[in-house]
Amino acid sequence: MTSDEINLRRRFCCVLLALYLVVIFPEIGRSEKFQYDGHGRRDPFVPASETIWASGQWSFKDLRLEGVVLDPMASYVVINGEIIKEGDSFSGFRVEKIDAGHVQLTKDGEAYLLYLRQEDRLAAQLEQATDGKG
């Protein structure tokens, strides 16, 4: 047997093995797109603008302020489990200003205050009511 015949046999065996593997394991060579299962929460590696936040499905009454991070460089809030930076927009709302106990939002030219604590919201409503009577 010559070296050419040996090389031909090796190539034939390699091709035969490759075909066998493709038939037996068809998923080889096919890449499936990874699907993140967040159990009801958004994928943290996808920008919030690409999730339900951008769809405009939230109204002000649906929003819940859960946390505030104040920093001279960049302040953040946690609204409905989403981390949002001052100046960013979500679901038609724009985060205008972040303060210690509340965040100022605007949507369609209308201003909103979302409070961290229920007591702060009630105190602000009471203050507005007494200022209006004064």
Same structural domain, 52 and 26: no
Report yes or no on whether pTM surpasses 0.85. no
Per-run averaged pLDDT (10 residues), the chain, 134 residues? 84 85 68 70 63 58 88 89 89 90 91 83 73 60
For the chain, the first-to-last Cα distance in angstroms comes to 110
Asked if the structure places residue 60 within a domain, the reply is: yes
Confidence (pLDDT) at 132: 60
Helix segments in the chain, DSSP class H: 3-24, 118-133
Same structural domain, 74 and 100: yes
Same structural domain, 1 and 60: no
Rounded to 5°, the CA angle 125-109-106 comes to 55
Domain residues for the domain of 17 are 1-31
94 close to 104: Cβ distance less than 8 angstroms: no
Confidence (pLDDT) at 7: 86
